Structure formats: structure tokens, C-alpha cells
Amino acid sequence: MAAITKEEKWLLIPAMEPDRKMMVSSKNYHETYLKEWAIYVTKLLFTTSPNEVERQIADMKVAFSNTESLNKFFHDHLQFVKGSNVSSVFFKEG
């Protein structure tokens, strides 16, 4: 029995910076993709306020898998930001 695998390819175009598009496939991706994604998530999580946290979590849920542990993390994050009345800003150095 032979298994045929088809490689899927995607062209990712960041919403805010369309010139920074990159190709990603099911078999190959560049480390830049993971780095950019990590920076995006970090900025979204750490640049927050009680007025913004629910929208930010909703934005992330669109792109992330729906898992019990992630839902718990989002719940705890929401409770911390709103309960502590936290506002913060994240800047990437360099």
C-alpha cells in the first residue's frame, strides 16, 4: 500500500504589513514565521488594559486551537487584568 501525501502551501500576508508576506507549507516553514508569530502574540497579550482584554482574547481565539488549557489560560488572564485593573505596554527591543 502506498501513501500519497500532498504538500499544502499557504501565502501569509500580515494585515498591517502586506509587503511582509511569506510562504509557508505543510512540510516547510521558515523560522521567521515562528518569530513573527511569537512577537505578535506577545504584543497582543502584554499590551493590554481592562477595556481591551476581552477583544484581544477574542482576536486570538480566531487563530488558535480551542483547547481546555488555552481556554483556562485566557480565563485566568482576563481575571487578572480586570481584577487587578492592570494596564501594560510591550515594546520589542531592537
Query: pLDDT tens digit string along 4-27?
Result: 566 666 666 665 566 766 667 767
Q: Quick one: average pLDDT of 79-88? A: 95
Q: Quick one: average pLDDT of 62-81? A: 91
Number of domains forming the structure of the chain: 1
Task: Tell me what percent of the residues of the chain surpass a pLDDT of 70.
Answer: 70
- Does some domain include residue 90? no
- Does some domain include residue 71? yes
* pTM, to two decimals: 0.65
- Does some domain include residue 28? yes
Write down the pLDDT at residue 49.
Answer: 96
- Does some domain include residue 53? yes
- Does some domain include residue 33? yes
Tell me which long-range contacts 31-40 makes (C-beta under 8 A, separation of at least 24): 39/92
pLDDT band at 65; cut points 50, 70, 90: confident
Of the candidates 56, 54, 50, the one whose C-alpha atom is nearest the C-alpha of residue 83 is 50
- Does some domain include residue 91? no
- Does some domain include residue 89? no
Cell of 90: 510591550
- Domain assignment of residue 45, given as a range: 9-84
91 vs 88: which has the higher pLDDT = 88
pLDDT at 2 over 70: no
Residue 48's identity, in one-letter code, is T
